[in-house]
Structure 1
């Protein structure tokens, strides 16, 4: 499986490479339920040295979500071979996997025997963000609340309008105010859910704290990696409801996702955090593990 848009040696043009159901294509039918209702799932995977990072975690989340939604998927080995063929020769890239339930008629009732579509999109990896791992980022609270729905919580379903509206809030900031890299979202009751594209961790000098994802938010692969490694390293980590008061009292905070790895927060809505007290050795180990190809 090759495509002339995959440019050697190991680089991509600005336009993504798109494969649909194993073939080079860039169109999907208008009656697809992913387009009509957001009826599907997605994963965003870091590619390093022509291999996906945290692949097993991404697969586990994708297939668990598909089972919850009742969308049949191909065998994991078949999907893995398709991905490896598509990213062969790439030094670094971003792979996005989308799965939809496929074609359906008007109305919410899904077909009894769905014929899903799988879309693989390969993008260039954005450069210039590595410095944030050491310098930290500026963040803000979003006005848009994150929706609560235990039936959908944790999975990366295609209904992401909460994050779209939240991310739209700071598109036009001027240089006078500096660049905002991420926004934190609260649920309608004022509890922290996560960032628009990240999970959030608080640090008090001894204990890590992060909000649960059983009612809202995404069970991030890097979040899972960090929780697992923290337990192995003997670092206490509590999964518990958190509000702005807990955030403001924390010694420091940082964000995680599969692409950025770990981003410390140096400023949140005008409040400055010192980065000196963060568990840097541990965080650098997490970033290294998150970008290790499988």
Structure 2
């Protein structure tokens, strides 16, 4: 870890009664730092605000948080920023009555250098056996309850793949273990709608805004049969082409044209 603070004070310690630890009661966002600048900074802050509103967290000094992020990021040419906001510290039980004000944790980590190789060479991905539950109340946001993703990542670590396509319990395509997904078939571009589960990533949302022709769908895994290309993305890895999906070779040139169009429009 390159940097860590709690409520603006440098430390790597937090109370064992923090509700993020006890119940996953909180939200987070993860961003890329390039040349001392946080990419999509305001979008990350707005997502934190929206996510906090969704789970009824308030009393957060957003101006102080932004100031800390801007100040601390200047020291890093290439790194990963993570901001977690927990409901605070409190006694045993689910109720937030008597709980302290939210805790804001800021961390900076080394950038995963293999993402650069992924962007250039593409990745091979399979299909996860672990499926996501249906929960419209939490769908889209990055909350701290990530046990499903932990199980998916364990499955990935024990596989031959670099990532896995994840479906929900109704077999609808949602995302990968750590990214959103787009695919191209007969010149049409698709991505899952995320009203029931999954994370609505900032790069995904920006892509949808840039290309109005993208079709948001709720479709089963069979929809990925005979596709031409696939791209996965998140705010840290950027856009990564998929060269092989579940043993089937996909077109890197088609994926690259899609990514190129996005770069030109940005």
Q: TM-score, normalised by structure 1?
A: 0.85
Whether 1:222 aligns to 2:208 is no
1:108 corresponds in structure 2 to: 94
1:24 deviation in Å? Answer: 0.6
Higher mean displacement: 28-37 or 244-253: 244-253
Q: Does 1:97 align with 2:97?
A: no
Q: Which residue of 1 aligns with 2:250?
A: 273
Shift of 1:271: 1.7
1:218-263 CA distance string (max 9 Å, x none)? 01000011101112xxxx1111112221112321111110011111
Q: 1:29 aligns with which of 9, 15, 27?
A: 15
1:16 aligns with 2:10: no
Query: In the alignment, is the contact (CA less than 8 A) between 1:41 and 1:62 conserved in 2?
Result: yes
1:77 deviation in Å?
A: 2.7
Q: Which aligned segments of 4 or more residues in structure 1 are displaced greater than 4 angstroms?
A: 287-290
Match of 1:190 among 168, 171, 185: 171
- Cα distance, 1:273 vs structure 2: 1.2
Looking at structure 2, the residues matched to 164 and 51 of structure 1 have their Cα atoms a distance apart, in angstroms, of 30
What are the Cα deviations for residues 180-200 of structure 1, in whole angstroms up to 9, with x where unaligned? Answer: 221111111111110111011
Deviations 1:49-80 (A, max 9, x none): 11110112211211001011111153433211
Task: List gaps (5 residues or longer) in structure 2.
Answer: none
Query: Gaps (5+ residues) in structure 1?
Result: 1-14, 174-178
CA distance in 1, matches of 2:180, 2:33: 20
Alignment of 1:54-93 (within 5 A): 54-93=40-79
User: Shift of the alpha carbon at 1:285?
Assistant: 5.3
* Cα distance per residue 1:18-51 (max 9 Å; x no partner): 1110011011101110000000000001011111
Is contact 1:71-1:114 (8 Å) kept? no
| CA-atom RMSD in angstroms | 1.8
2:214 corresponds, among 232, 237, 260, to 237
SS of alignment partner, residue 252 of structure 2: coil
TM-score (norm 2): 0.94
Q: 1:270 to 1:282 in 2, by over 3 A?
A: closer
- Is 2:25 the partner of 1:49? no
1:147-166, Cα deviation, whole Å (9 max, x unpaired): 21000000000001111101
Equivalent of residue 255 in structure 1, options 201, 217, 232: 232
SS of structure 2 residue aligned to 1:242: coil
Aligned to 1:122, what secondary structure does the other structure show?
strand
How many pairs align?
A: 266
